[in-house]
Chains A and B, each alone.
Chain A
Amino acid sequence: MTSPHHPQSWPEEPGDAAPSFAAATLPSATIRLEAEAAAFITRYRRNRRRYAGGALVGYLAFTVVASTTPELMRSRVAGHLSAALLLMAMQIVTLLWAVAGQRLQAERLDRETAGVREQLAAHRHQRQA
């Protein structure tokens, strides 16, 4: 009745086997890796803020304009196409831009971070052991 249990991961499981160099690394390497990870996490967050912010700010601006200036929204732009319908169409374009842009950026970041994630996971497993 509930979902299967899955281990937590970001964004996919790292390799099962630790890289062979992991055993020989020093604590300073862990510190360096954690700093790199922190920088990547910041980039993930910035990526999310950029696209989600763009979509939400656009929608809020649309909502405020649509709610406060109903008369203006009724004015026709071309044929029966009103300013309201045009703004709505622009909103949909903005939403699609946000979804597509966030996906492309996130996948690029996934590729860049794969190595760091594997090394960091190996170090953490080593420390826990």
Chain B
Amino acid sequence: MSTPGNQAMLVVGFLLFMALCGFLCLLTDSDQDDSHLAQPLIRPLRPWQHGLAISGTAMSSVSLLGITGLVALTGGDGMTLLLGMVLSMVLLALVLAEPLRRAGHRTVSDALARRMPQRSVRVALALVTLLVCLCFLVLQLATVGTMTAFLIGLPGDGPKTACIVMIGVLMVSLAVTGGLRGTALIQIVKVVILLLTMGAVVAIILHRADWNPERLLGGAASRSGLGDAFLGFGVQYGPGALGIAERLGTAAGLPLAIACLPQVTMRVLAVPSPRATRSAMRWAVAQMLLISALLAVIGLGAAAVMGANALVTADPTGSSSILVLSHALDPDGFLLSAVSCAVFLAALATITDVTLAAAGAVGHDLYAQVMHGGEVSRARVMTFARWSAAVIGGLAVVLAAFASSWPLLVLSALGVALSSSALGPALVYGLLWPRFTSQGALWCLYGSTVLSLALTAVSPLISGSASAVFPDLDFHLIPLTVPAVVTLPAGFALGWLGSILPRRKAAAAAQRFEELTQAEFAGVDAD
């Protein structure tokens, strides 16, 4: 797929994006994120820019590649995931974003600390946040490293590991030097470039189909090898009760998981006011809807132009569909270079955001609030957070180098399960349910995390199948590959049970919740 000319173009494109991102980070200067005294070099972001940054954070490069591939190979099942991505933004816009912004200061822990000031809740939230961030960091790094090695024509494990390490170090250094506003600008650039490149691919696909959606759908269905099943549901997980359960688990877990991802909530908390949050979320929903529509057409186009066999030959998971299609549409390689650079930029932006979210959990929650009770200067917190970002990023690079040969589905399944079942109930109950107590928070945070890890460990994702992490071993006990089927309802049940058991505490929590709501309504501090 790659020729020396393409490779040179790719390397130049990657370097240009790295330089652009570094420039944006230096221009914004992370020290100014918290300074009200210094005159910033660029003006504060507007609500629509925050909206683009929020939706850009929610759409990672792995989602971009993976879901497009699923649309190309399974049709309706992949499109359901795209609908889930849009729903995640709607869920944030209608349910979570405004209460979170009203309640929170810097992190989700701050938002819950109004009602539950106990250190144990902060520690639990920070630990789960770190675990989710590590899952996503390793997943993104392994994917982008593998993609880069593939694109620049370096086969084998050695070059793949070298790509992961080099890209990881560069991206983590951006996260360390760039602040929240710098990375927000990177997200905005990413969204604009993604829309332009994906728009160009879609225009070429539709031009080939004579601008007739009927023809595109017909071509995709016939060349997918699935016929009418391609335009329905049920291809990905198959028939039967297990298939139904896994489809339900994915459809319910994905939107909540994305809405509660630490990097997404971090972006929501960066919006300057609750009313601006409302405006920002409208932009986020619109942008996510647009990019999802483009990806659906690209997936259909990949099936129609290439056929399922060619896509599976290039990559059994279908994740390289968009790259294979770009090369087929423009054999000169310009389109492939543009799409690869856009995907690379998407990965870069996601990794810097996840690293920042993890550093926020360590620096602000664990170091400043838990270890020092909030009595520490911002400068020291910033320094500690920077070092934390470097350490977490370094750890993620090492883990990604080891995990690059794994089936990456295991990390995405675990990340979705943790985010939707541990962070999801804590956030939803914490912002909306008056009787939620600290015991309920601890039960759902720790309970769901342990359950998610245990179910993943005994699933066919780890052992007992050809596509497992350890294909030669077999200690799997359950056939589920989507742990969220069990962990999502379990997380909400644990949070509810932990809160209602001590009835006196639940009543006190409800009273405190009403006081805080009244104070927020008036715009004053309840304390």
A contacts, CB < 8 Å to B:
1-14, 34, 37-38, 40-41, 48, 51-52, 55-56, 59-60, 63-64, 66-68, 70-71, 73-76, 79-85, 88, 91-92, 95-96, 98-99, 102-103, 106, 110, 113, 117, 120-121, 124-125, 128
CB under 8 Å from chain A, chain B span 488-527: 517-525
Among B34, B255, B282, B524, which residue has its beta carbon within 8 angstroms of that of A99? B282
The reply to whether B518 and A99 form a contact with Cβ atoms under 8 Å apart is: no
Among B34, B228, B289, B519, which residue has its beta carbon within 8 angstroms of that of A82? B228
Q: List residues of chain A with CB within 8 A of the CB of B356.
A: 1
Among A55, A84, A91, A117, which residue has its beta carbon within 8 angstroms of that of B76? A84
A56 to B91, CA, bound (A): 8
Distance between A14 CB and nearest chain B CB, rounded to angstroms: 5
- Smallest Cβ-Cβ distance to B79: which chain A residue: A88
The reply to whether A63 and B180 form a contact with Cβ atoms under 8 Å apart is: no
Q: List residues of chain A with CB within 8 A of the CB of B80.
A: 63, 66, 88
Among B102, B107, B282, B364, which residue has its beta carbon within 8 angstroms of that of A8? B102
The reply to whether A8 and B525 form a contact with Cβ atoms under 8 Å apart is: yes
Extra inter-chain contacts (8) besides given A7-B525, A48-B94, CB under 8 Å:
A4-B270, A63-B252, A70-B232, A74-B228, A91-B83, A106-B278, A110-B275, A124-B524
B side interface size, CB within 8 A: 69
The reply to whether B94 and A99 form a contact with Cβ atoms under 8 Å apart is: yes
B468 within 8 A of A: no
A14 to B275, CA, bound (A): 13
A64 to B273, CA, bound (A): 37
The reply to whether A3 and B33 form a contact with Cβ atoms under 8 Å apart is: yes
B233 within 8 A of A: yes
The reply to whether B93 and A99 form a contact with Cβ atoms under 8 Å apart is: yes
The reply to whether A41 and B521 form a contact with Cβ atoms under 8 Å apart is: yes
A9 to B180, CA, bound (A): 22
The reply to whether A120 and B522 form a contact with Cβ atoms under 8 Å apart is: yes
B170 within 8 A of A: no
Distance between B385 CB and nearest chain A CB, rounded to angstroms: 5
The reply to whether B523 and A13 form a contact with Cβ atoms under 8 Å apart is: yes
Q: List residues of chain A with CB within 8 A of the CB of B95.
A: 48, 52
B206 within 8 A of A: no
B466 within 8 A of A: no
The reply to whether B274 and A9 form a contact with Cβ atoms under 8 Å apart is: yes
The reply to whether B385 and A37 form a contact with Cβ atoms under 8 Å apart is: no
Q: List residues of chain A with CB within 8 A of the CB of B180.
A: 1-3
The reply to whether A9 and B102 form a contact with Cβ atoms under 8 Å apart is: yes
Distance between B217 CB and nearest chain A CB, rounded to angstroms: 4
The verdict on A117 contacting B521 (CB below 8 Å), with A73-B233, A74-B228, A82-B232 known, is: yes
Proximity string of chain B (276-299) to chain A, C-beta cutoff 8 Å, 1 when within and 0 when not:
001000100100010000000000
- Smallest Cβ-Cβ distance to A64: which chain B residue: B248
Distance between A10 CB and nearest chain B CB, rounded to angstroms: 4
The verdict on A67 contacting B273 (CB below 8 Å), with A48-B94, A48-B95, A91-B83 known, is: no
- Smallest Cβ-Cβ distance to B94: which chain A residue: A52
The reply to whether A4 and B33 form a contact with Cβ atoms under 8 Å apart is: yes
A80 to B239, CA, bound (A): 23
Q: List residues of chain A with CB within 8 A of the CB of B43.
A: none
The verdict on A55 contacting B252 (CB below 8 Å), with A14-B522, A70-B233 known, is: no
The reply to whether B248 and A9 form a contact with Cβ atoms under 8 Å apart is: no
- Smallest Cβ-Cβ distance to B368: which chain A residue: A2
B269 within 8 A of A: yes
Q: List residues of chain A with CB within 8 A of the CB of B98.
A: 11
The verdict on A102 contacting B94 (CB below 8 Å), with A1-B179, A82-B232, A92-B83 known, is: yes
Q: List residues of chain B with CB within 8 A of the CB of A52.
A: 91, 94-95
